[in-house]
Amino acid sequence: MIRGSCLCGVVRFEVAAGVLDEAPGLSPDRHILVDFKAPWHEMTDGFEQATKRELIRMRISEMKRRKESE
């Protein structure tokens, strides 16, 4: 059960992508929490890179959009 979030009381299952028999049909579109990456690690794949602060802003705006569309 998830507590301390808007999903409180919801049972959530997580499955590692590596255990799936077939491709999940999803692929990465951004790197998150890049402010915590090792200083020697370079991300050269061209994906968007978001810091913790930017990720929080994105989530808040997504939640606002969902609320407005209800």
Domain boundaries, the chain: 30-69
The residues with which 49 forms a beta bridge, in sequence order, are 31
| pTM, 2 dp | 0.54
Tens of pLDDT along the chain (70 residues) come to 445 566 667 777 888 878 889 888 888 888 999 999 999 999 999 999 999 999 999 999 999 998 898 8
In whole angstroms, what is the distance from residue 13 CA to residue 61 CA? Answer: 25
Q: What is the pLDDT of residue 5?
A: 62
In whole angstroms, what is the distance from residue 31 CA to residue 18 CA? Answer: 18
The residues with which 69 forms a beta bridge, in sequence order, are none
Q: What is the pLDDT of residue 43?
A: 93
Q: What is the pLDDT of residue 70?
A: 81
Q: What is the pLDDT of residue 6?
A: 66
